[in-house]
Amino acid sequence: MNSIKSFSDHTQCGRLEVHLVGGFSDDRQLSQKLTHQLLSEFDRQEDDIHLVTLCVTELNDREENENHFPVIYGIAVNIKTSEIYRASFQDRGPEEELRAARALTGGPMISIYDAKTEQLRIGPYSWMPFPHVDFWLQQDDKQILENLSTSPLAEPPHFVEHIRSTLMFLKKYPSPANMLFPGNKALLYKKNEDGLWEKISSPGS
Protein backbone atom coordinates (compact mmCIF):
# COMPACT_ATOMS: atom_id res chain seq x y z
CA MET A 1 0.00 0.00 0.00
CA ASN A 2 2.77 2.44 0.91
CA SER A 3 4.65 1.61 -2.26
CA ILE A 4 1.61 2.32 -4.44
CA LYS A 5 0.68 5.49 -2.57
CA SER A 6 4.22 6.85 -2.87
CA PHE A 7 3.59 7.24 -6.61
CA SER A 8 0.42 9.24 -6.13
CA ASP A 9 1.20 11.74 -3.35
CA HIS A 10 -0.24 14.62 -5.33
CA THR A 11 -3.13 12.81 -6.99
CA GLN A 12 -6.49 14.38 -6.23
CA CYS A 13 -8.65 11.87 -8.08
CA GLY A 14 -8.78 8.15 -8.72
CA ARG A 15 -9.12 5.29 -6.28
CA LEU A 16 -7.21 2.31 -4.89
CA GLU A 17 -8.36 -0.88 -6.59
CA VAL A 18 -7.59 -4.46 -5.58
CA HIS A 19 -7.65 -7.57 -7.75
CA LEU A 20 -7.30 -10.88 -5.89
CA VAL A 21 -6.71 -13.97 -8.00
CA GLY A 22 -5.41 -17.36 -6.93
CA GLY A 23 -5.77 -20.27 -4.59
CA PHE A 24 -8.30 -23.09 -4.87
CA SER A 25 -10.18 -25.54 -2.65
CA ASP A 26 -7.07 -27.33 -1.40
CA ASP A 27 -7.31 -30.16 1.13
CA ARG A 28 -5.53 -28.23 3.89
CA GLN A 29 -7.63 -25.10 3.28
CA LEU A 30 -4.48 -22.97 3.04
CA SER A 31 -6.04 -20.90 0.26
CA GLN A 32 -9.07 -20.09 2.41
CA LYS A 33 -6.86 -19.00 5.32
CA LEU A 34 -4.66 -16.82 3.12
CA THR A 35 -7.68 -15.23 1.41
CA HIS A 36 -9.22 -14.44 4.78
CA GLN A 37 -5.94 -12.90 6.02
CA LEU A 38 -5.64 -10.73 2.90
CA LEU A 39 -9.24 -9.50 3.02
CA SER A 40 -8.94 -8.78 6.75
CA GLU A 41 -5.73 -6.82 6.16
CA PHE A 42 -7.32 -4.70 3.43
CA ASP A 43 -10.32 -4.14 5.69
CA ARG A 44 -8.01 -2.75 8.38
CA GLN A 45 -6.50 -0.12 6.08
CA GLU A 46 -7.49 3.49 6.62
CA ASP A 47 -7.77 4.12 2.88
CA ASP A 48 -10.92 3.50 0.87
CA ILE A 49 -10.12 0.37 -1.13
CA HIS A 50 -12.29 -0.97 -3.95
CA LEU A 51 -12.30 -4.73 -4.52
CA VAL A 52 -12.67 -5.05 -8.29
CA THR A 53 -11.78 -8.68 -8.96
CA LEU A 54 -12.20 -11.67 -6.64
CA CYS A 55 -11.28 -14.98 -8.23
CA VAL A 56 -10.04 -17.02 -5.26
CA THR A 57 -10.47 -20.37 -3.50
CA GLU A 58 -13.83 -21.89 -4.56
CA LEU A 59 -14.19 -19.31 -7.35
CA ASN A 60 -10.87 -20.43 -8.87
CA ASP A 61 -11.43 -24.15 -8.39
CA ARG A 62 -12.05 -26.99 -10.82
CA GLU A 63 -12.58 -30.65 -9.97
CA GLU A 64 -11.18 -33.58 -11.91
CA ASN A 65 -11.55 -37.19 -10.73
CA GLU A 66 -12.49 -35.88 -7.26
CA ASN A 67 -9.24 -33.89 -7.09
CA HIS A 68 -9.17 -30.09 -6.94
CA PHE A 69 -7.03 -27.83 -9.14
CA PRO A 70 -6.76 -24.07 -9.68
CA VAL A 71 -8.40 -22.76 -12.84
CA ILE A 72 -5.89 -19.90 -13.06
CA TYR A 73 -2.27 -20.38 -11.94
CA GLY A 74 -0.96 -16.94 -12.88
CA ILE A 75 -2.04 -13.55 -14.16
CA ALA A 76 -0.39 -10.59 -15.84
CA VAL A 77 -1.42 -6.96 -16.06
CA ASN A 78 -0.96 -4.63 -19.00
CA ILE A 79 -0.22 -1.43 -17.09
CA LYS A 80 -0.99 0.76 -20.15
CA THR A 81 -4.49 -0.62 -20.73
CA SER A 82 -5.24 -2.05 -17.23
CA GLU A 83 -6.15 -5.36 -18.88
CA ILE A 84 -5.72 -8.38 -16.59
CA TYR A 85 -5.26 -11.69 -18.32
CA ARG A 86 -4.39 -15.30 -17.61
CA ALA A 87 -0.69 -15.98 -18.08
CA SER A 88 2.06 -18.53 -17.69
CA PHE A 89 5.72 -17.59 -17.43
CA GLN A 90 8.58 -19.39 -19.14
CA ASP A 91 11.14 -16.90 -17.82
CA ARG A 92 10.99 -16.53 -14.05
CA GLY A 93 13.54 -13.75 -13.82
CA PRO A 94 17.14 -13.41 -12.66
CA GLU A 95 18.71 -15.59 -9.96
CA GLU A 96 15.74 -17.99 -9.88
CA GLU A 97 17.62 -20.69 -7.95
CA LEU A 98 18.95 -18.17 -5.44
CA ARG A 99 15.47 -16.74 -4.79
CA ALA A 100 13.96 -20.23 -4.59
CA ALA A 101 16.66 -21.34 -2.14
CA ARG A 102 15.79 -18.48 0.17
CA ALA A 103 12.10 -19.43 0.04
CA LEU A 104 12.76 -23.17 0.60
CA THR A 105 14.84 -22.38 3.69
CA GLY A 106 11.94 -20.45 5.21
CA GLY A 107 12.61 -16.87 4.18
CA PRO A 108 9.48 -14.69 4.39
CA MET A 109 7.84 -13.32 1.26
CA ILE A 110 9.33 -10.00 0.16
CA SER A 111 9.15 -7.68 -2.84
CA ILE A 112 12.42 -7.49 -4.77
CA TYR A 113 11.30 -4.88 -7.33
CA ASP A 114 11.89 -1.19 -6.73
CA ALA A 115 9.41 0.64 -8.97
CA LYS A 116 11.11 4.01 -8.52
CA THR A 117 14.51 2.82 -9.77
CA GLU A 118 12.94 0.10 -12.00
CA GLN A 119 15.45 -2.36 -10.58
CA LEU A 120 15.36 -5.82 -9.10
CA ARG A 121 17.25 -5.87 -5.81
CA ILE A 122 18.13 -9.41 -4.74
CA GLY A 123 19.66 -10.02 -1.33
CA PRO A 124 21.90 -10.10 0.47
CA TYR A 125 20.38 -13.25 1.97
CA SER A 126 21.55 -15.72 4.57
CA TRP A 127 20.27 -19.14 5.53
CA MET A 128 21.23 -22.16 7.58
CA PRO A 129 22.35 -25.32 5.74
CA PHE A 130 19.25 -27.17 4.47
CA PRO A 131 18.65 -30.23 6.71
CA HIS A 132 19.21 -33.64 5.06
CA VAL A 133 19.76 -32.15 1.62
CA ASP A 134 21.50 -35.33 0.36
CA PHE A 135 18.59 -37.44 1.58
CA TRP A 136 16.07 -35.34 -0.35
CA LEU A 137 18.18 -35.39 -3.50
CA GLN A 138 18.09 -39.20 -3.41
CA GLN A 139 14.29 -39.34 -3.30
CA ASP A 140 12.16 -40.05 -6.35
CA ASP A 141 9.79 -37.53 -7.89
CA LYS A 142 6.79 -38.88 -6.00
CA GLN A 143 8.45 -38.44 -2.60
CA ILE A 144 9.57 -34.89 -3.39
CA LEU A 145 6.14 -33.96 -4.66
CA GLU A 146 4.32 -35.42 -1.66
CA ASN A 147 6.67 -34.02 0.98
CA LEU A 148 7.88 -30.68 -0.35
CA SER A 149 4.64 -29.34 -1.79
CA THR A 150 1.61 -27.90 0.02
CA SER A 151 -0.67 -29.16 -2.80
CA PRO A 152 1.02 -32.14 -4.54
CA LEU A 153 -1.76 -32.89 -7.02
CA ALA A 154 -2.07 -29.31 -8.22
CA GLU A 155 1.57 -28.46 -8.89
CA PRO A 156 2.62 -27.44 -12.42
CA PRO A 157 4.74 -29.92 -14.44
CA HIS A 158 8.06 -28.19 -13.70
CA PHE A 159 7.66 -28.33 -9.88
CA VAL A 160 9.83 -31.38 -9.08
CA GLU A 161 12.61 -30.32 -11.45
CA HIS A 162 12.50 -26.87 -9.84
CA ILE A 163 12.79 -28.33 -6.32
CA ARG A 164 15.67 -30.62 -7.33
CA SER A 165 17.66 -27.74 -8.85
CA THR A 166 16.97 -25.65 -5.74
CA LEU A 167 18.21 -28.48 -3.48
CA MET A 168 21.35 -28.80 -5.60
CA PHE A 169 21.88 -25.05 -5.23
CA LEU A 170 21.49 -25.32 -1.43
CA LYS A 171 24.01 -28.17 -1.36
CA LYS A 172 26.49 -26.08 -3.36
CA TYR A 173 25.91 -22.96 -1.23
CA PRO A 174 25.09 -24.07 2.33
CA SER A 175 25.95 -20.56 3.55
CA PRO A 176 25.50 -17.89 0.86
CA ALA A 177 26.96 -14.75 2.45
CA ASN A 178 30.27 -13.91 0.74
CA MET A 179 30.07 -16.56 -1.99
CA LEU A 180 26.93 -15.13 -3.57
CA PHE A 181 26.99 -11.57 -2.27
CA PRO A 182 30.55 -10.20 -2.47
CA GLY A 183 31.03 -7.42 0.05
CA ASN A 184 27.57 -8.26 1.42
CA LYS A 185 26.02 -6.20 -1.38
CA ALA A 186 22.71 -6.82 -3.18
CA LEU A 187 22.60 -8.15 -6.74
CA LEU A 188 20.96 -5.50 -8.94
CA TYR A 189 19.21 -6.03 -12.27
CA LYS A 190 17.57 -3.60 -14.69
CA LYS A 191 15.81 -4.20 -18.00
CA ASN A 192 17.67 -3.21 -21.16
CA GLU A 193 16.18 -1.78 -24.36
CA ASP A 194 15.19 -5.28 -25.50
CA GLY A 195 13.20 -5.89 -22.32
CA LEU A 196 15.73 -8.37 -20.91
CA TRP A 197 17.12 -8.26 -17.37
CA GLU A 198 20.77 -7.22 -17.17
CA LYS A 199 22.98 -7.28 -14.11
CA ILE A 200 24.27 -3.87 -13.07
CA SER A 201 27.00 -2.87 -10.65
CA SER A 202 26.06 -2.20 -7.04
CA PRO A 203 26.70 1.33 -5.78
CA GLY A 204 30.24 1.61 -4.50
CA SER A 205 31.41 -1.65 -6.07
Task: Write out the chain's pLDDT in tens, 205 residues.
Answer: 877 777 776 666 778 888 999 889 888 888 999 999 999 999 998 888 999 999 999 999 999 888 888 999 889 988 889 888 988 877 788 999 999 999 998 888 888 998 888 999 999 998 888 889 999 999 999 999 888 887 888 888 888 999 999 999 999 998 887 788 888 899 999 999 998 999 997 555 4
Can you give the pLDDT at residue 10?
A: 67
Can you give the pLDDT at residue 47?
A: 86
Can you give the pLDDT at residue 67?
A: 86
Distant-in-sequence, close-in-space partners of 205: CB < 8 Å, separation ≥ 6? 182, 183, 185
Distant-in-sequence, close-in-space partners of 103: CB < 8 Å, separation ≥ 6? 109
- Helices (runs of H) and strands (runs of E) counted in the chain: 7, 10
For residue 190, give the nearest of 111, 101, 87, 115 by alpha carbon.
115
Task: Tell me the torsion sign for CA atoms 142, 145, 148, 151.
Answer: negative
pTM, two decimals, is 0.76
